[in-house]
Structure 1
Amino acid sequence: MSTNYQINHVNFDSKKGLLSDSCQQQLLTYTESRLLTLLLERQNDIVSKEELKTFAWEHTVVTDSSLTKSIAKIRQSLSTYFPNDEIIATVPRVGYRLDLEKTSISEEKLEHEDETSIVLPIEKNVGNQAKKLPLRKLFLVIKRGLLVLSIVLLAYSGFNLFRKLPNDYRDYVNNDYSAIDITNNGFTHRIIKPKDFIIPEKIKAILAEKKCNCIFMIDKVGDHYN
């Protein structure tokens, strides 16, 4: 099956469930898009209710009421573009038919077209021909501009961050605490402790086992060291 259909001036992207022309867009649900796709594939033929339900809802069992409501929503969306045409006809007790006797349809793959083009109607005497207004260059310029702006903002943020980092962590220690450096096995341990607190040897032995350049805060609460 094709993923793109053209009903006169209206394009239907079945993959996205999108009906659109040069002025407006209508978005269908997944189920509604499946129903319309099958009716387009079988245009002017009667498609039974059971076949429509099986195709649109796949492994889910639904009632005729659900199908009727979905068809009504599709008709409402199509009426935006074709206010005077009843494109989907009801075949009582049987199913539905996409009646395109007055509305031509073409079916095509659109990979070769520019996805960023906008189709604009020309004068009436040109028929269904349209001109495309390429927007790719404009989008590229905007995209590059946003990229450059992002890089500038990141650079400025980094500059402010490093400018404000403290040169010496001791400048930010509370007045009730002091900070010292102890070197063990080639690693420097920066220790923050209460001013009158003497680090016991067993704590120093524990820190000596830590093979990292780290900052520790040591305090004593009762008989416990934190």
Structure 2
Amino acid sequence: MSKQYTCDDLVFDIEKMSVRTDRLERSLNYNECLLFKAFLDNASQVLDKETLKQAGWPDTIVTDSSLQKSVQKLRLAIAISDCVELRTIAGVGYMLYCSCAGANESTSTRCAFNSLTLAKALLASVSLVLIVLSFFNFSRVTNTHLVSYRHDGYEIMELNHHRVLKPKGMVLPLKIESLIEHSKCDCFYSVAQTEGLYTLSVYDNVHRRSENYLFEVETLPKVIKELG
């Protein structure tokens, strides 16, 4: 038995540190879990920034910028929901909008198909990240010989001066192409698709860090809106 919260079509599993619907699941870090629990405990109520910072980072001093980044990540995570929305209340704070929220005890009985699908997608995501990292590592090692390395099953395409690593033969959705083309970030992108899910990895060349996104095809417009 593990404690869970339900919020319309969204389920927040505290033990697993994840949010999910019937179709998809996303992981949260520790602070995001604390922050989301505070939102759920006060669903459809406006919470000021100081209250949220105390809830998400107990006994720790954090900036408004850190709070804003965590809220943005939460928005991306709950984008899998068709109902739940995290709204910004200008000059005050934020509000989690959902018509029905509450805590409940869950059993371990879950749909095996969803777990298997997610496992495959996460495996694909990890594989994609490793390919990207190996590409950069081997490029650095072999630069003196003007040679670069990449997996034989992948190719690099150019989109408005942005490099994109993708499986050979894969056709990128127009919305993803547009997102990359109009990006002002000096980033290297990699895209893959498996089991109806997209994996998008964004490597920031300036700060030498990457962020990875896993989302369902049907939620693509909503996710792109968050990334944009």
TM category (shorter chain) comes to 0.3 to 0.5
Instruction: State the structure with more CA Rg.
Output: 1
Higher relative contact order, structure no. (Cα contacts within 8 Å, ≥ 6 residues apart):
2
Q: Give the TM-score taking structure 2 as reference length.
A: 0.45
Q: Give the TM-score taking structure 1 as reference length.
A: 0.45
